[in-house]
Amino acid sequence: MKIDITSLDGKKTGSIELNEAIFGLEPRSDILARMVRYQLAKRRAGTHKTKGRGEIARTGKKMYRQKGTGNARHGSARVPQFRGGGRAFGPVVRSHAHDLPKKLRALALKHALSAKAKDGGIIIWTNAEIAEPKTKGLKANFAKLGLTNALIVDGAELKINFLQAASAIPEVDVLPVQGINVYDILRREKLVLTKAAIDALEARFA
């Protein structure tokens, strides 16, 4: 699969042949859905918590004698059926993460890249570098390129000027290549890859 390489100004600077084993697969929605579910479950804090009857600061003494009052038989006032009592079967602090095979995670990334390539949503840049960290100038470049909602993936190290300028632009994410993931690829309309990112991805899946 051949695709043009452009500069940040939108000028064509050459072309590159993308690896069919990474960018030319037929996307499978079931694999992508499993990976997104895996990522979203892993990022959940899981800190929701309610107090059970054993955690309520209230006396555990029997409320009144067992017989002769005409009322129902009750013991502790900490039980769930009373106002101020503990919650029955309430949420506890836990991890929501679940396992997904490593090979399936790698395959899901390939399918996400292939899905973007199939939809024409991939743009290849020579590099992601600007002289000054000016958001206004970068937004003007993005307007020329029609980039309003994009994930930009550079090499192992991000250029600090570009990162600072892009961080103030809404719906634009910038990641190093080691941080590329299925969820962020799918949630943005365009995927911008630099030549360094392409080389790193091909080396990763070699």
Task: Give dist(CA 136, CA 87) in Å, integer.
Answer: 53
**Pairing relation of β-strands 150-154 and 12-17?**
unpaired
E-assigned strand segments in the chain = 2-6, 12-17, 122-125, 150-154, 172-176, 190-194
- Least Cα distance to 91 among 51, 55, 53, 58 occurs for 51
Considering the entire predicted model, what is its pTM?
Answer: 0.85
What are 149-199's pLDDT values in tens digits? 999 999 999 999 999 999 999 999 999 999 999 999 999 999 999 999 999
- Residue 198 pLDDT: 95
Task: Give dist(CA 149, CA 49) in Å, integer.
Answer: 36
| pLDDT tier at 11, thresholds 50, 70, 90 | confident
Architecture of domain 2-45+97-204: 3-Layer(aba) Sandwich (3.40)
Query: Does pLDDT of 138 surpass 90?
Result: yes
Identify the burial level of 65 via C-beta atoms within 10 angstroms of its C-beta, where 0-12 means exposed, 13-18 middle and 19 or more buried: exposed
What are 37-96's pLDDT values in tens digits? 999 999 999 999 999 999 999 998 999 999 999 999 999 999 999 999 999 999 999 999
Q: Which residue ranges does the chain devote to CATH 3.40.1370.10? A: 2-45+97-204
Report the b/e string of 12-30 with b at 16+ CB within 10 A. eeeeeebeeebbebebeee
Average of pLDDT values for 115-132?
Answer: 92
* More confident site: 206 or 158: 158
- Residue 144 pLDDT: 87
| pLDDT tier at 8, thresholds 50, 70, 90 | confident
CA distances from 205 to 34, 42, 107 (A): 20, 24, 10
- Residue 16 pLDDT: 92
Largest pairwise CA distance in the chain: 94
Average of pLDDT values for 16-26?
Answer: 94
